[in-house]
Amino acid sequence: MKQIEVAALVLINDNRVFAAQRKEKGPLGGMWEFPGGKLEIGETGREALVREIQEELGVTIEIESYLMRVEHQYPGIFIIMHAYLGKIQEGSIQLHEHQASRWLKKHELWQIDWAEADIPIVQNVEHLLS
């Protein structure tokens, strides 16, 4: 069974959280997620997230705090996801790896189709939004 470790960014601005929709390819195509990606060998979750967000969204971020760890079994792959709360330091979001994005208010969180591994993070975010 393949196992990967990933980091995900929770961006909250003006009482809204950022969500990105995966491109229509692969088993999670079209699903919504918190942006981020795989940790490379020897890389911390924070380092991976700063790198991945620069690649995926074209912005520089500051990690504010560790939010939570999620373990999820997809068919054929086990994911360990580290979620971090952060903010944009420089730049404006440009989608390089996703097909769409939204800034969601608390009452909109469950109006999109989240990737299963991201659902525990959404539940946590629900408590962070007033």
Q: Tens digit of pLDDT for each residue in 71-86? A: 999 999 999 999 999 9
Structure token pair of residue 86: 């952060």
Assign 45 a pLDDT band (cuts: 50, 70, 90).
Answer: very high
What's the domain range around 74?
2-117
DSSP state, residue 58: S
Q: Is it the case that residue 128 has pLDDT exceeding 90?
A: yes
How high does pLDDT run on average in the chain?
96
Please report whether residue 10 resides in a domain: yes
Summarised one tens digit per residue, pLDDT across range 52-64 is: 999 999 999 999 9
* Residue 130 domain-assigned (yes or no): no
What mean pLDDT is predicted for residues 97-119? 97
Does 70 score more than 90 pLDDT?
yes
- Does 130 score more than 90 pLDDT? no
Residue 128 belongs to a domain: no
The answer to the question of residue 25 being in a domain is yes
CATH of the domain at 100: 3.90.79.10
Judged against a pLDDT cut of 90, whether residue 47 lies above it is answered with yes
Structure confidence at residue 87 as a pLDDT band (50, 70, 90): very high
**The total number of structural domains that make up the chain:** 1
Band (27; pLDDT cuts 50, 70, 90): confident
Q: Any idea what the Cα angle at residue 129 is, between residues 126 and 130, rounded to 5°?
A: 120
Strand pairing report for 32-33 and 36-38: unpaired
In a domain, 86, yes or no: yes
46 part of a folded domain? yes
| Any domain includes 124 | no
Say if CB 33 and CB 10 are below 8 A apart.
no
Residue 123 lies in a domain: no
